[in-house]
């Protein structure tokens, strides 16, 4: 049994991006999903009208992770999934010391969020996690610890895919924590996520130029009985426009 995922920072639609603004590039987003139809899409920086647009152009998908009621300028981190896949539960929480209420902690500039869904694909269970980290290392590291605590407490034995815009590259403390390279506590409770890409890692942030200006800050990590296949960065433009200032990243997996 195989499935595919895309992590996509869509670039929030209220940004003053001129010729790369939302009304100019939304057709490029539609063209992106005409070409690529994964089983799951983790989308970050979603304004509500962008969510409505995606649901319109992706009628075969449902989504979880929409925060209600949302204040003006709100940005969601949602998971879109094919309706042929059963969602057996989901939760949305904030990356803070008070995750059940809209809040920020650890020096975070914004109230960052995480969406975690549990799905059934055929006879297989899967946890899919989509998030968007803040810029400061303490916020990133504590956010990583919070997500791992949720996984350990609620679904420790289920294969999981963790994706999102982490605003950090693979040498970061949060990345090394997730992949078990920081020795804290017992080895049995240490995070055990693995990377889908091989070194040297590609870049995923390009500021609408088509040329990476930073390393791999959009991650797709996995754990459990999964085998990654064919991870790649989607560098496509459509009629001269890029869908976002981030390249989407895509990976396929099979249960083993």
CA distance 27 to 30: 5
pLDDT value for 72 = 85
Question: Is the C-alpha dihedral spanning 251, 151, 129, 170 positive or negative?
Answer: negative
pLDDT at position 189 is 79
- Rounded Cα–Cα distance for residues 191 and 147 (Å): 10
* Gap between the Cα atoms of 165 and 200, Å rounded: 19
Check residue 6 and give its pLDDT. 98
Q: What is the pLDDT of residue 70?
A: 84
What pLDDT tens digit does each residue of the chain (256 aa) get?
Answer: 899 999 999 999 999 999 999 999 999 999 999 999 999 999 999 999 999 999 999 999 999 999 988 888 899 999 999 999 999 999 999 999 999 999 999 999 999 999 999 999 999 999 999 999 999 999 999 999 999 999 999 999 999 999 999 999 999 999 999 999 986 655 567 899 999 999 999 999 999 999 999 999 999 999 999 999 989 999 999 999 999 999 999 999 999 9
Domains of the chain: which residue ranges?
2-255
- The confidence score (pLDDT) of residue 187 equals 58
At residue 23, the pLDDT reads 98
Which architecture does CATH list for 2-255?
4-Layer Sandwich (3.60)
What's the whole-model pTM score?
0.96
Q: What is the pLDDT of residue 185?
A: 57
């Amino acid at each position: 049994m195989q499935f595919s995922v895309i992590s996509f920072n869509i670039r929030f639609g209220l940004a003053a991006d001129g010729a790369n603004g939302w009304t100019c590039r939304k057709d490029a987003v539609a063209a992106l999903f005409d070409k690529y139809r994964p089983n799951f899409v983790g989308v970050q920086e979603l304004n509500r009208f962008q969510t409505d647009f995606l649901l319109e152009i992706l009628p075969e998908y449902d989504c979880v992770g929409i925060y209600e009621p949302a204040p003006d300028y709100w940005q969601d981190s949602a998971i879109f999934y094919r309706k042929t896949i059963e969602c057996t539960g989901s939760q949305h929480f904030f990356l803070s010391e008070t995750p059940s209420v809209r809040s920020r902690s650890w020096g975070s500039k914004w109230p960052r969020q995480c969406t975690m869904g549990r799905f059934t694909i055929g006879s297989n269970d899967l946890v899919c996690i989509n998030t968007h980290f803040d810029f400061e290392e303490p916020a990133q590291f504590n956010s990583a610890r919070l997500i791992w605590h949720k996984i350990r407490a609620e679904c420790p034995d289920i294969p999981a895919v963790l994706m999102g815009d982490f605003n950090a590259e693979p040498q970061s403390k949060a990345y090394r924590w997730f992949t078990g390279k920081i020795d804290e506590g017992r080895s049995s409770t240490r995070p055990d996520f693995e990377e889908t890409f091989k070194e040297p890692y590609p870049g995923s942030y390009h500021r609408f130029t088509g040329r990476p200006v930073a390393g791999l800050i959009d991650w797709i990590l996995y754990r459990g009985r999964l085998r990654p296949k064919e991870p790649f960065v989607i560098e496509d433009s459509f009629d001269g426009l890029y869908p976002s200032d981030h390249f989407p990243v895509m990976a396929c997996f099979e249960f083993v």
